Every structure is written in C-alpha cells, then in structure tokens.
Amino acid sequence: MTCSSLVWTREYGPRIVAVRQGPTRVHDQRSASRAAGSPDFQHLKPEAGLLHRLGISKPLIARMAQRAVINGTSIEAELLASGVIEEDAYFAGLARMYGLPFLPVIDPALVGDPLCGDTQLAEPHMVRLQYTDRQPVMAVAPQILHMEGLARRFGRHGNGAGNLAITTPSAIRKALWKAGETRRVSDAVRGLFDSVQSLSARLVVTGDQGFVAGASLCLLSLLLVFAPMLAVVLGHMLLSFFHAAALFLRIMAVSHGKRHPRLEASLESGCDVLPVYTVMVALYREAAVVPQLIAALDALDWPRSLLDVKLVCEADDLETLEAIRQARPGPHIEVVEVPAMAPRTKPKALTYALAGARGKFLTIYDAEDRPHPQQLREAFHAFELGPSELACLQAPLVIGNAGESWISAIFALEYSALFRRLLPALGFYRLPLPLGGTSNHFRTALLKASGGWDPFNVTEDADLGMRLCRMGYRASTLTLPTYEDAPTEFKVWLAQRTRWYKGWLQTWLVLMRRPLRTAREMGPLSFLVFQLLVGGMLVAALSHPGLIVFITLSVLSLMQIPAPQPSVFTTMMLAMDVFNILGSYAVFFALGATPMTDREKKGMGWKWAMIPIYWMAVSLAAWKAVLELRLKPFHWNKTPHTPSRSGSLPPGLAAHPAQVFAAMTSASDKV
C-alpha cells in the first residue's frame, strides 16, 4: 500500500508527497488496456488542474485519470481509494489551500441525529455542527471541483469563513454512526416486527399456532389411549411418506445435475462502467482471522473506488476491533460498530450496517471466507443479464479442510450436495432457495424493500430466501465459489448445527402462521417445495432414530426361531423405511460426490462411510434445537474460527485473480 505525507511550504503552499509506491492491482491493468484505445480526458482537465495546484504530481494525476475514465469516477475518488494519499492529509491540504479550518474529528454531540443522517452515511458530504456558545458551523467533505463555489458562497474572510470547515468523509460517517446509534439499533431490532409482524420470528409461536398444536396433542393423546395401534400406524405412515417425498426431491436434483451441467462463469458485462458494490462482513470474537480476511477482501477483482466494504463488529468486541486496526485496512474498508442490544445476532448486526450501504449491489461474507476474486464480476454480470425481479444470487460454498477430520469430510460432502447440485436445480426451475449464510449477492434496493434480515431468526439466510419468494422475487446461483473451513470437532459442529435447526424451525413456524396465504404468495409448487425442503429436512432429522429403531426391531423379530409371519402392511412399512434410510444415505453421497473434483474425492477418502453416524448426530442436533427453541430461542451459538491451514491466501497478495484462486484451490487439495 502506498501512503503519503502532507507538508506546508511558504513558497509552494500545501504539497502532498507520496512516500512509497504500492502494487498495481489487476483491475488497473485491465483498465489501462481498455483506456489505451481512445481515452477521453477532456472532462477531467479542470479537476486535474486543481489537483496539481494542490501539489500532486502530474504522473500520479495521469495514472489516476486513466482509472477514472474507465471506472466512471473522478481523479479525486481514485486518488483517495488507491491509498496513495491519506484522507486526512488530502483534506487538510484542501483546507489550507483555501484558508479554511480543518476538523479531523467531529464530536457526535454536535451533530445530533438529523433526518438526513442515513443518507449522509452512504454519501457523506456535509453535516451541521450545533455549538452552544457560537454560531453553527457547516462541516463539509467537498469534492475539489466544488471548493471554489463553496469558498465564494461562505466567503474566504470575515464572518463567513467562520461558518465553514473542511472535514473528511470518514469523520462525518463516524460522527453520524455514533450520533444515531440508539435509533438505528432500535430500528434494526424492531423494524421488521413493527412493519410486518407476521414475518418476524420474534414471536416464536402465535396464538393460533399454539391452539392448533394443543389440539393436535390432545387428539394424539386420545388416539394413543383409545386406539394406540391406529395412532402408531398413522404416524408411521405419515412420517414415511413425507420422508420419501423429501428424498424424491433430492433424487430429482441428482438427475438435473446430470442433464444440465454447470456452465463456465461469465465475467464480462455489456455495461461499460461498474457500479458501487457493498461487501459486508459480520465479525464477533474473530481477531484470529482478521489478517486472512483482509487479504481475501484485498484480492477481490473490483475497483477500490467502487468498493464499499463494511466490517461489522460489536462495539464491545475490543479484541477484534484492535486486530482490525493493527491490520491497517485500506480506505475502501469501513468499520461499523454495533451498539450492544439484544438479541446479539448476526442478522441484527447486518441490518444495523445496512443503513450505510452505498452499493447498488451488496454481498455478505463470513469472517473466515476466501471468496473467488472474480465472484463480484460474475454476480454483476448475472444481475445485468437477469430480469429485474432477480433479487439474489447464491455463490457455492466449498469446504477447504475436508481432510482434517471425518466431520469436516462429511460436511464438505453435504455442502457440495447443497450448493453445487440442489440449489442450482431449484434456481433453474425458479423455485425458492434456502440461502446459505454467506456469499449471498443482492440488489440492495430489493433487499431493503424486503425488510432485510430478521434479527430474531438464527438462520436469517433461509428465512430471507423464502421471504423473497413470497414477495415475488427470484433467486439463482453462481459458479465461482467461496472457500471456508468446516468445524473439525464434534462439540463445535453440534453447537453450529443446533443453531441451524433452530433457525429452520423458526422459519417453518413463521411461514406456517398463515399457510393458505403463504401458498398463494409463493405459488402451489414453490409452497410444496418449501415443505419438502425445510419441513422434510426437519422431519427426516427428528424421525431418523425412530425409523432406525423400527427397522432394527423388525429385523430382530424376523430372526427369531420360529420367525413370526409379518403382515403385509408391516412388510410394506419395513420396506419403505429401509428404502428411506438407505436411499437417504445413497442420495446424500451421490448428490455431494458427483460435482466434487477428483482431488476433493481423494481428500475425503473413505470418510464417507461415516454418513450413518453423521445422520444420527444431525438428529441429535435437531432434537437439541427443539429444546433450545423453547428455552432460549434467540441465543446465537457462536462458531469459533481460526486461520485456515488449507486454503488461506498468501500474505502481501498482489497476483492475478486467476493465479490467486489457483493457489487457493491447490492448497485446499493438499489434504
């Protein structure tokens, strides 16, 4: 990274001096080659002249002008985003050049919480400072082209000069975040519940749902007392047929994958100028992975002047905040501190930070993620070519540490099945997608229109995917993946999976508050798929031990001497249960192993033989989730992360994105 210092001389006024030169990024090389054809710099000449007066060298101005032409920005924006000149030094020089005071820091108490505060978070230009002992001062972070007009308007001398001060965009944002934190965190917590209560998981079970559940339990109790065999038979049949239907959906996904192989990612768009892209990462107690995260974000192939990265941290997570400061992230990365307020969940933090998102598109990553450097370009191209109702794109998640334990190996198989087979098939047929918790790409306007993330749902991703479908929006998938690491210890895996099942229970309960209305909004087929995806997954996990017990008892009974003659019904149910259990194992393996590379399969080895044990562990997590839903529904079981030993990015990354991802893939294959 290059940096600078600003010096003041009597002869030449303010001078900004670059002290070291950083690497040229890939998009700069691409921009240079594209601009070489017929660049038009005429509209940038006035700005270039002012910047030269400020003391910036002509070669640096020329280089930044070339980027500005390609990116549709200004020389000033490219200069600040590149890190060649520090923000404080630049705006201090601007203030001195025009004889105005400079405010490197703004006291939030002087700002209050103006109605325009949220707009200024995204585009910080000016803020009014209210003093008790003097006239108000307008603190501005102006573009250099506007300075002449501002100076004339407020006057360069006399009383007018005292009403204007120069500050930085970062100072305005920090002051506004702090000044409005109470209102914004309250909005993040209550917004969805207050606007559309039926969509929020804040109420675990509604009165109507409680009545239906109570009536069902009473009916079941009566059947068990007066007709126990009938109750057992009906329950067994219902579970078995539902299990088989959910299995059939996954068999269809296997067939779809063979008939419709994934195409190569398309990275070029007909749009000449890229938009601003917001990248949000929620961090809590993640100090250990901050350097890896910064390296992964720096590898993204997107102009920094058009990249709005927000690291969203809890305000009391001092260790993570200090780790970020030590990492010295670039000027395109902003730290958003979320005030402490229950529930302490990832979706609440993301919703809080959403107020400051300035990108036309927005994506979410987790702290340990290593996304493909060109994933943003693929998403942008897909959005540009897709219909206006395409609200979300899910990138595949690939496990990079499959060889570290049997848990991570089966986890990798599971993720391969979900993100490389099942979700692409659902997207192909325009069916609802239960989104993954990371690498979701959104049209920001549609994300906000849908209400954002539910702070009370601990699998906010699946809930949001279903809500988008209810509102008439579409979701689809990408091909360029994000690497992350799976838990390797059973205790960590169980806590994470319990949270997931608790969130899926919350999602199912929310959508089933008014099932007929939900069916009308989603459409009959999508509603059926939702029941098979979420409901079927819950039923399969909860009923799995029962089916195993029934099969075991039936087989033991048949092994008696003399063996009893089973009824036709018992034989049919036994056959169906065996089909459901063995079929689930087989489809689980086929769905996950088919899209894996040979190296991935080699890394997994024979650990797939642990699938039956894994399914029993899943059942344990599901039953634990039912208990947690009753005792602590909004508790977030934090998954600890450590720097990846299998797919981390090399430090000081400055390679071509294709080389970067090749290195990531190669590292992840060494298992």
HEC states along 174-214?
HHHHHHCHHHHHHHHHHHHHHHCHHHCCCCCCCHHHHHHHH
Radius of gyration from C-alpha coordinates of the chain: 29
Contacts of 215 (CB under 8 A, 6+ apart): none
Q: Is 589 left (phi over 0), alpha (psi -120 to 50) or beta?
A: alpha
What is the per-residue pLDDT for 405? 93
Count of residues making up the chain: 671
Q: Rounded to whole angstroms, what are the CA distances from 597 to 192, 375, 416, 486, 669?
A: 42, 20, 10, 18, 9
> Containing H/E element for 52?
helix 45-54
Beta bridge partners of 20: 3
Question: So what's the pLDDT on residue 532?
Answer: 92
Q: Which CATH number fits domain 192-671: 3.40.50.620, 3.90.550.10, 3.40.50.2300, 3.40.630.180?
A: 3.90.550.10
Q: How far apart are the first and last CA of the chain?
A: 33
Distance separating alpha carbons of residues 34 and 27, to the nearest angstrom: 10
* pLDDT at residue 160, as a whole number: 52
Q: Which amino acid, one-letter code, is at 209?
A: Q
- DSSP secondary-structure letter at 25? P
Residue 235: what pLDDT?
85
> Using an 8 Å Cβ cutoff, are 412 and 399 in contact?
yes
Residues of the chain with CATH 3.90.550.10: 192-671
Task: Using alpha carbons, select from 338, 275, 274, 272 the residue that is nearest to residue 311.
Answer: 338
The mean pLDDT values, 10 residues at a time, for the chain of 671 residues are: 36 36 43 52 89 92 93 94 94 92 94 79 91 89 88 60 86 95 94 93 92 90 86 85 88 82 66 89 96 96 97 97 96 96 95 96 97 97 95 96 93 96 94 94 96 95 95 96 95 96 97 96 95 92 91 82 74 88 94 92 90 96 96 91 65 39 41 32
Q: What is the dihedral of CA 628, 631, 635, 640, to 10 degrees?
A: -50
The sign of the dihedral angle between the CA atoms of 81, 85, 86, 91 is negative
Check residue 265 and give its pLDDT.
Answer: 66
SS3 22: coil
Please give the Cα distance from 290 to 326 (Å, whole number): 9
In the prediction, which pLDDT does 263 show? 65
Could you tell me the two tokens for 392?
Answer: 């979300």
